[in-house]
Amino acid sequence: MGQGVDIGGRLGDPVRAAANGKVVYAGSGLIGYGKLIIIKHNDTFLSAYGHNRTMAVKEGDPVKVGQKIAEIGEGPGNKPLLHFEIRVNGKPVNPVRYLPKR
């Protein structure tokens, strides 16, 4: 799996878009990510959301920041989690730098 963070939660918790964008991938064709959603935010940034139980968006859909795009599913070890990645110019970066402060 790529660089990213695993975010715990409860099975079925909502997964929300990190920023406005367009869904460029929604499927389960990439090994190790389960049901995966990738959102293109602009020419530089993509965000990826893996291990979803259900997906509320499909390829080509526009999304708004905070919009529910999926529900948390089970990751490795059958534990509920969201695998979250950000890519800048196609390269994975530490997404924590881009998440809002708590």
Domain covering 5-89, topology = Glucose Permease (Domain IIA) (2.70.70)
* Predicted TM-score of the model (pTM): 0.92
Other residues' Cβ atoms within 10 Å of the Cβ of residue 91? 9
Work out the percent of the chain whose per-residue pLDDT is above 90.
77
- Residue 31 scores a pLDDT above 80: yes
**Domain locations along the chain:** 5-89
Return d(Cα 102, Cα 60) in angstroms, integer.
31
User: What does the pLDDT look like over 42-82, one tens digit per residue?
Assistant: 999 999 999 999 999 999 999 999 999 999 999 988 999 99
